[in-house]
């Protein structure tokens, strides 16, 4: 049975176009005005930008809710607004995995803090392009019941694997994309400032910064395989998936500089992310049908928030107890 969308592409193409133009404007202001000069992003600056991106997403969420109410009525409008918020939280929580990879990649390629913002900007810009493609394909595939079940099982398996083997390893030299790139394009071992390419002799060489960027893009494609189906488990509306996903990614760069060091204290977050993937997998395969075809969005939002908050609190308690244990041993 075909799914009836509240915001079909044929009728709301202008919303996709206007939102994309709005996002491009934000990115242009970000790089061209506020971060025109390379600098080390401080904790205070990253905190301010993180708050700004979150507030902007919430304000947009409220505006979208008001528009949805005027368009489809109070009940469906509230549902759409909550779906946007839940999708945003799901993507932001799963994006924590990206931050772990960012830290590993920058350490592996010895990217100085001075140039990390530049690499992340273009990495996130590329991620937005790839996510748009994933969402377009996902919107078409999710029309088929069998595909929904396949994605649900995939998320279940991914969550279980992450639950039992949460440690990540990174080996760019073994990545097939990096191997192919090095065969086609010569790579300079030196940094060469903030440049992605530099001319040495008669040939152009890629710098370490560009190879790091290339690996970040490849990593995001891998993460998108999990996160995009996870949001489609929350809502079948491609417009809501697209907008909530994009807003979550826009704040990812600021969140990296804010949490890169602090994440080491939140060791149990990895398990919360695994449980979220398992939950959305169950939602796509079993829970939705147990609840007559529509799992309550309020329950989804509450379960996901509880898992994240619980993991943070448990991590802080565990970290606070460790120094006492060491002190007793000595």
Residue range 203-230, pLDDT digits in tens: 889 988 898 888 888 877 777 777 788 8
Number of H helices, E strands in the chain: 12, 2
In a domain, 163, yes or no: yes
Residue range 150-202, pLDDT digits in tens: 877 877 887 887 777 655 555 666 667 777 888 888 888 777 888 889 988 88
Q: Are 168 and 100 in contact (CB under 8 A)?
A: yes
Q: In total, how many domains does the chain have?
A: 1
Range of the domain at 88: 35-167+224-329
> Which DSSP string do the residues of 101-129 spell out, in sequence order?
HHHHHHHHTT--HHHHHHHHHHHHHHHHH
Spatial distance between the Cα atoms of 294 and 287, rounded to a whole number of angstroms = 9
pLDDT for 165? 66
Spatial distance between the Cα atoms of 211 and 213, rounded to a whole number of angstroms = 5
Residues whose CB is less than 8 angstroms from the CB of residue 40 and which lie 6 or more positions away in sequence, other chains included: 113, 114
In a domain, 68, yes or no: yes
Whether the pLDDT of residue 1 is over 50: the answer is no
Q: What tokens does 318 get?
A: 């565990």
Q: Are 45 and 255 in contact (CB under 8 A)?
A: no
For the packed helices 74-108 and 208-232, what is the interaxial angle rounded to 10 degrees? 150
* pLDDT band (50, 70, 90) for residue 46: confident
Residues whose CB is less than 8 angstroms from the CB of residue 51 and which lie 6 or more positions away in sequence, other chains included: none
Spatial distance between the Cα atoms of 90 and 300, rounded to a whole number of angstroms = 10
The chain-wide mean pLDDT, for the chain, equals 80
- pTM assigned to the model: 0.76
Return the beta strands (E) in the chain as ranges.
197-200, 203-206
In a domain, 291, yes or no: yes
Which of 55-69, 77-91, 162-176, 294-308 is least confident? 162-176
Higher local confidence (pLDDT), 21 or 301: 21
- Cα–Cα distances (Å) from 66 to 5, 20, 63, in that order, read 18, 20, 5
Residue 173: DSSP 8-state: G
Which residue's entry shows tokens 């060791």?
A: 267
Number of Cβ within a 10 Å radius of residue 302 = 12
Spatial distance between the Cα atoms of 254 and 247, rounded to a whole number of angstroms = 12
pLDDT for 262? 61
In a domain, 11, yes or no: no
Question: What does the CA dihedral 112, 115, 121, 122 come to, rounded to 10 degrees?
Answer: -100
In a domain, 17, yes or no: no
Q: How many residues does the chain have?
A: 330
In a domain, 210, yes or no: no
Higher local confidence (pLDDT), 225 or 235: 235
Residue range 237-272, pLDDT digits in tens: 999 999 999 998 888 878 877 776 566 566 777 788
pLDDT for 195? 87
In a domain, 137, yes or no: yes
* pLDDT band (50, 70, 90) for residue 69: very high
Which of 159-173, 272-286, 310-324 is least confident? 159-173
Whether the pLDDT of residue 294 is over 80: the answer is no
In a domain, 16, yes or no: no
């Amino acid at each position: 049975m075909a799914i009836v969308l509240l915001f079909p592409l044929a009728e709301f193409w202008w919303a996709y176009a206007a939102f994309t133009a709005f996002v491009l404007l934000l990115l242009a202001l970000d790089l061209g005005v506020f971060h025109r000069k390379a600098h080390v992003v401080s904790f205070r600056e990253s905190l301010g930008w993180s708050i700004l991106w979150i507030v902007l997403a919430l304000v947009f969420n409220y505006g979208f809710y008001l528009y949805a109410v005027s368009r489809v009525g109070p009940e469906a409008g509230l549902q759409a607004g909550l779906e946007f918020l839940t999708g945003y939280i799901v993507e932001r929580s799963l994006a924590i995995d990206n931050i772990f990879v960012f830290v590993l990649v920058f350490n592996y390629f010895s990217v100085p803090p001075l140039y990390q913002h530049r690499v992340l900007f273009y990495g996130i810009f590329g991620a937005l392009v790839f996510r748009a493609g994933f969402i377009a394909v996902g919107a078409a595939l999710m029309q088929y019941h069998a595909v929904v079940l396949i994605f649900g099982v995939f998320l279940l398996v991914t969550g279980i694997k992450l639950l039992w083997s949460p440690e990540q390893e990174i080996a760019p030299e073994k990545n097939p994309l990096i191997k192919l790139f090095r065969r086609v394009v010569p790579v300079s071992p030196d940094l060469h400032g903030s440049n992605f390419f530099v001319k040495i002799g008669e040939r152009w060489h890629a710098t370490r910064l560009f190879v790091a960027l290339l690996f970040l893009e490849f990593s995001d494609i891998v993460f998108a395989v999990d996160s995009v189906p996870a949001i489609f488990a929350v809502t079948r509306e491609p417009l809501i998936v697209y907008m909530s996903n994009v807003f979550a990614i826009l704040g990812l760069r600021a969140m990296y500089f804010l949490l890169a060091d602090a994440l080491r204290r939140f060791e149990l977050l990895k398990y919360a992310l695994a449980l979220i993937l398992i939950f959305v997998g169950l939602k796509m395969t079993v829970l939705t049908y147990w609840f007559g075809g529509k799992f309550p969005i309020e329950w989804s939002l509450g379960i996901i928030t509880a898992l994240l908050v619980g993991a943070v609190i448990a991590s802080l308690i565990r970290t606070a107890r460790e120094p006492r244990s060491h002190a007793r041993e000595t």
